A and B are shown apart, each in its own frame.
Chain A
Amino acid sequence: MDLTTLTIDSARAAVQERTTTAYALAEAHYARIQKEDGQIGAFLTLSKDRALEQADRIDRMAAEGNPLPALGGVPVGIKDVMSTCGVRTTAGSKILNKYIPPYDCTAVARLEAAGAVILGKTNCDEFAMGSSNENSGFHPVRNPRDLSRVPGGSSGGSAAAVAADMAVAALGSDTGGSIRQPAAFCGVVGLMPTYGRVSRYGLIAFASSLDHIGPLAKTVKDAAIVLRTIAGRDPMDATSTDIPVPDYVAELDKSVRGMKLGVAKEYFGDGLDDDVKQAVESAIDRLKGLGCEIVPISLPHTPYAIPTYYLVATAEASANLARYDGVRYSQRANGVKTLSEMYRRSRDEGFGAEVKRRIMLGTYALSAGYYDAYYLKAQKVRTLLTRDFEEAFRKVDAIVTPTSPTAAFRLGEKSNDPLAMYLADIYTVTADLAGIPGISIPCGETKEKLPIGLQILGKHFDEAAILRVAHAYEQAHKSGH
């Protein structure tokens, strides 16, 4: 049995039935990381002690014949923007180079309480700001499918770790597409839940009204298992809601026959790569073949999503990142003489170019005289973008789109052009702004054998519907029907 190609259920079952051990599973994944990650760069920190201790605990449970929890013995990666008690957490930034959190992120605690084995922390764009993982303060991540290309971002390390069988599943975070776009680029499943569905307690904040935690996984079912584990009200995060969490796994096999799927013309315009367009159109045909009704819709404000996003997100980021002042979080410039000099030099040395750019843009947009013209205006357009979806969801149950206009691009291709990089998120930012859930699943390859992602967007708190459509498509795609 190849221990690094298992799904969550098959890994857990193998440990439960004693055909392998959680310890062996963890060791097999560490061996794979040892062998592959030198060239991929998906992990920043390994938490081997913590992982093997947990694996031992799971093995004892199995040996005693106790039923294992949902992720018993399953090795997972955690994006390095989520706090892990006693394990270095950098957010991909030099300014947190030596930071060791004194508590766990709720999503991490919930995964571990459900038996998951935390292998380590995955690389990402600094403070989750980027679409290619080239903004990591440490080193870029390379796409396991083609090492000359980016894995997407900002959860590039999580996507690459799952794609290269270095983890069964991983947690990522999505503020403008950072789970779905790397999932598409690396050929894995990535799910962004509804805003408020998963607690962000312990997530290092980028843009608080847009940040989400969600899973990257090898199958839709695995994504559903992880979501079921991490979702639900957490009193430590006031934005997490107490809406009941359905059993997403039980809902997967319900028929999609008769479901109405919207196709928005705004997501198929200029800039969409031909291969991607073709793959997504044939995915839509396949869904039609499964009994879904395809309904043409319009989301007219879509062209305004990127400017709206970059004003809202940077404004919030400029406030959230003010806390990195050289006083509390490990990194301070040497030889500073005054308080003001300490702030400036610590931040100058600690932050990378893109983070500084966004702090500057956000500070400008919030500054006296410009607040109404930029930040307030963007918040109003955010309402219009959300209304677009409200209108659409009166007619349809879910919306299908490409995840990204192109497949994975080459390292360096867009790194000197911030605007070109921002446009990589053009089909994903809308869901973050509206707070609706979205999933990206593989739907074929380009002529160059690069993965293509199909995005399915749903109503607020209706992850069950998009998971069901995604699962039906995945099963049909796998069997070639």
Chain B
Amino acid sequence: MLVGDANCRPWLPGTLPRSIVTQPRACRELSSCLPRKQTQTSVRPERSLRGGNILMKVSEKDVAYVADLANLELTAEERAGMLRDLNSILDYVEMLKELDTSDVPPMAQVSDRYGVDESRQGSERFSYATRDDAIEGLRKSLTQDRALENAPDSDGTFFRVPKVIER
């Protein structure tokens, strides 16, 4: 069953492949699954975002280092703006330190906790999300031509890029 149409034919009404209108399994009860522990926290009063002394957390050197990690060059003007904005935003997010989170588990995904079969354990909870490991499974692979269509440069078989030279 294929999803997507490599020739971009519009979907005919009522002809959507069954694979993307799969009928769900029987309904399950959803309830919150974390322990009921209450964390006592005091909530800060409103405070001005712009006021106060901004402690410089990020230096020009840091900006250069992070830009390097992110594969951005940035003009001198952009770097100056980034220095100002990052410091002001990081000063603002500092308020998170007021909360004691030593006993709080991190939440990386909503679906860790909601929409799973809670009668099951571990990865079994997400068994609905797995499928057969088939070469042409849900969607037909793109042809080489199609896959290269958006490439700024290719030789018809591969993406073409400048020489790889150590910086």
Tell me the A residues contacting B by CB distance below 8 Å: 50, 53-54, 57-58, 61, 68-69, 72, 85-86, 98-100, 102-104, 106, 109-110, 112-115, 194-196, 199, 201, 209, 232-236, 238-239, 241-245, 266, 269-271, 300-304, 306-308, 310-311, 318, 322, 325-332, 336-345, 347-348, 351, 353, 356-357, 359-361, 363-364, 367, 374, 376-384, 386-387, 390-391, 417-420, 423, 434-435, 459-461
Contacts and interface: CB of A to CB of B under 8 A. Distances in A.
The binding surface of chain B is classed by DSSP as: loop
Given A54-B10, A364-B58, A364-B62, A327 B43 contact: no
A102 B6 contact: yes
Given A104-B11, A310-B89, A363 B106 contact: no
B104 A342 contact: no
A54 B15 CA distance: 13
The 7 closest A-B pairs by CB, nearest first: A435-B110, A241-B115, A86-B8, A379-B106, A103-B4, A113-B16, A307-B93
Nearest to A316: B108
Nearest to A366: B69
Interface of B: 3-6, 8, 10-16, 19-22, 24-28, 30, 32, 34, 38-39, 41, 43-44, 46, 49-50, 58, 62-63, 65-67, 69-75, 78, 81-82, 85-86, 88-90, 92-93, 95-97, 99, 101, 104-111, 113-116, 126, 128-129, 131, 138-139, 142, 146-147, 149-153, 159, 161-165, 167
B115 A196 contact: yes
A141 B78 CA distance: 25
Contact of A236 (B44, B46, B138): B138
Contacts of B152: 326-327, 330-332
Contacts of B115: 194-196, 241, 243, 460-461
A113 B5 CA distance: 13
A235 B19 contact: yes
A100 B149 contact: yes
B21 A232 contact: yes
A419 B88 contact: yes
A107 to B, nearest CB: 10
A61 B14 CA distance: 11
B54 to A, nearest CB: 11
A225 B45 CA distance: 42
